[in-house]
Structure 1
Amino acid sequence: MRSLEGKVVVITGAGSGIGRALALQLAAQGSQLALCDVSADNLQKTVEIAGAHGVKVYSATVDVSDRKAVQTFADNVERVLGKAHVIINNAGVALAQTVDHMKRSDFEWVMNINFYGVVNGTEAFLPHLKAQKDGHIVNISSIFGIIGVPSQSAYNSSKFAVKGFTEAMRQELKSSHPHIHVTCVHPGGIKTNIVRNGRIEEDMNGKQVSLGKMAADFDKMAGTTAEEAARQIVRAIEKNTKRLLIGPDAKVLDLMQRLLPNHYDNVMGIGTKLLERLGKR
């Protein structure tokens, strides 16, 4: 099992949720941190808490959908901390709209952050990892990168794309740069603010829903804390795990998809109706 002490670890979306939890746990282990987020205020809070562990922390406000901005961030990381050993492409956003009501601008917003943000981070830091003796890329997909869900077509598309991109890259690097390890992470419901910060308009039945109600419903279903998710991700890096499912919900849904590839949508429909009835009590 490798140690991450002293290693330069890059985390996108480090201002809150899993990103912040990762930063704090890695700081406690003695990693040097390169953190970015689109929210300067949230990012600064993470930097202050992580910095209290006495490790070097470089941070920058970055929109991961901006390829040039991500490359500039990578160049500055090398200048301040040296070449990165680990890149965790964590930044992501949520969207709930059905296909027939989808705003193209919202679809592109999700894809540009959730998928192209991963691509941009990987491209910018891959040269760093190639120069190291031991590198690691972690891309955060979702259980929604394994199963399709109504009103989540855009989010599904972005997370399925992350899965495909990551698994293909792993096979490429295995032969050309075997010292670079690649992990694809599929979290289930994690207690973060992703729904509150998303663009939520419709529930899984295509009905109009308020952001507040959707966030409250998500909080009830999310069974894993950001801290626990971060702990499992760090462990996956240490053990060079290729694929990580986080949460019992993710593991059950993954199994259901593999056992019932042609019928899991029927099971999902029954589960959705049951959740609706429970929510009305």
Structure 2
Amino acid sequence: MLRTNLEGKLTLITGAATGIGRAAALGFAAEGAQLALVDRDADALAQTAEEARAQGVEVATATADLGTAAGIDEALTTLLGDGTAPDVLVNNVGAGSVRTFDDLSDDDWHATFELNFFSYLRTIRAVLPGMRARGTGAIVNNASDLARQPEANPVDYAASKAAVLALTKSLARSEGPAIRINAVAPGPIWTPFWTKPGGFADTLAEVHGLPPQEAVEHEMKLRQLPLERLGTAEEVANVIVFLASDLAAFVTSSVWGVDGGSVRAIV
């Protein structure tokens, strides 16, 4: 029988407190992985860690703002202070809001790229030397279907996630065969990214002039989503766990759409 072989593997997950990060943490815990989790929401992160420990795995946590270089250094020093490299890195942290091109200032663009792109780049830069020295490793980057099929907005979010895909492809070529690097590209997923106050649901409500739930449903119709629903965080986490595991031993430089069919391109 095929196995993930993730038991005991040290897995570092950014943005692990809620949404896809939380679901990924619990998914890896179910496979017996040892977890290192980071998020800026201390209370929600503690809850995720408690649920993971209930599955019998070791969990270390760090609270930090990954939108800054100092925050990343702080988190990785706390979690990997002895220089230990994780077996698996899941770059998941990210944020965005629905804003038109004209709404965005240079500061807005910088803030989006600092969190959605540079946090990935800096975290990878920190763990790669140890992975290279060990001769193994798996990295999974959380991108977006908007990186592959941009909409009119949010243009800054789509551009930052497209950069994540370019980084994934480039590093997969340079770091093979020892280290596998892949990306997931979720479509609309019902997480706090959508549901929190000021999140996508609220901003779409403003854009479409509808209540939040109706605005989301209207947006899905506009996108002509074949599965006609938002996905769940667990559905994305399942693919992340797969890509990090031995089940995907011959998979690298790939972009896995978990998008309900939103992307229409053949490649």
TM-score w.r.t. the length of structure 1 is 0.80
Match of 1:144 in 2: 146
Which residue identity lines up with residue 244 of structure 1 in the other structure?
A: W
Structure 2: gaps spanning 5 or more residues: 221-228
Match of 1:193 in 2: 192
- DSSP-derived class of the 2:194 partner: coil
Match of 1:233 in 2: 240
Cα distance in 2 for residues equivalent to 1:189 and 1:249: 10
Give the CA deviation at 1:133.
3.3
Match of 2:258 in 1: 246
Cα distance in 2 for residues equivalent to 1:165 and 1:4: 25
Structure 1: gaps spanning 5 or more residues: 259-281
Is 1:180–2:191 an aligned residue pair?
no
Native 8 Å contact 1:8 1:81 kept in 2: no
Match of 1:3 in 2: 5
Distance 1:85 1:30, change over 3 A: same
**Post-superposition CA distance 1:31-82 (Å, at most 9, x none):** 0000001111111110110111121111011211221321232233234794
**Post-superposition CA distance 1:224-265 (Å, at most 9, x none):** 211111011111222143321113324x4343xx5xxxxxxx
Which residue identity lines up with residue 225 of structure 1 in the other structure?
A: T
Match of 1:53 in 2: 55
Cα distance in 1 for residues equivalent to 2:90 and 2:111: 20
What is the alpha-carbon root mean square deviation over aligned residues? 2.5
Cα distance in 1 for residues equivalent to 2:135 and 2:95: 33
Native 8 Å contact 2:204 2:216 kept in 1: no
Distance 1:217 1:81, change over 3 A: farther
**Post-superposition CA distance 1:188-207 (Å, at most 9, x none):** 11111113445668659xx7
TM-score w.r.t. the length of structure 2 is 0.84
Return the index of the structure with the highest Cα Rg.
1
Native 8 Å contact 1:173 1:180 kept in 2: yes
Cα distance in 2 for residues equivalent to 1:45 and 1:194: 18
Give the CA deviation at 1:83.
2.6
Native 8 Å contact 1:196 1:215 kept in 2: no
**Post-superposition CA distance 1:90-114 (Å, at most 9, x none):** 0010121111122333322211111
Distance 1:245 1:18, change over 3 A: same
Number of residue equivalences: 249
Match of 2:112 among 96, 104, 110: 110
